[in-house]
Amino acid sequence: MSNTDTQDPVFRRFYSHLNSAVAILRAYDGGMPFAHFIKNYFSQHKNLAAKTAGRSLSFATVIFV
């Protein structure tokens, strides 16, 4: 992938969502059901917009399952 491809807003958005999903999965230790964890996670990380949270959650759920 060339450097110009990574500057494309679509790619930046995709990688942002992917990085958020990775952060969610790294923070999850399995101590509680994932649904409870993710609700608490988004409550604590209010900087994530609703659309970002939804897409990141989709990535995390696919990876988690």
Task: Return the SS3 of 28.
Answer: coil
Residue 55 predicted with pLDDT over 80: no
pLDDT at 31 over 90: yes
pLDDT reported for residue 49: 58
* pTM score, whole prediction: 0.62
Torsion angles phi and psi, residue 26, rounded to 5: -70, -35
Residue with tokens 């969610």: 24
